[in-house]
Amino acid sequence: MKVTIDQDACTGSGQCVLIAPEVFDQRDEDGIVMLLQDSPEPGLQEGVGEAARICPALAITLTAS
């Protein structure tokens, strides 16, 4: 799995960070998502998939690696 984020689309809701904190974080100054891992290990992929599904801005894209 390959993860990409669109920081321009991100609204800073932080749901991704709550679900997958090993993969996502937020910038302190504005709450915009930061990607910590672009190829998460299999044990993290379920949470990353959920984060992508619930992102209100659709700022997370997942592709097969």
CA dist., res. 47 & res. 28, Å (int): 23
Please report the domains of the chain, with CATH numbers, ordered by start residue: 2-63 (3.30.70.20)
Q: Per-residue confidence at 59, pLDDT binned at 50, 70, 90?
A: very high
What pLDDT score does 34 carry?
98
How large a percentage of the chain has pLDDT more than 70? 100
Q: Which residues contact 9 (CB under 8 A, 6 or more apart)?
A: 57, 58, 59
Q: Per-residue confidence at 44, pLDDT binned at 50, 70, 90?
A: very high
Return the structure tokens found at 23.
């993969």
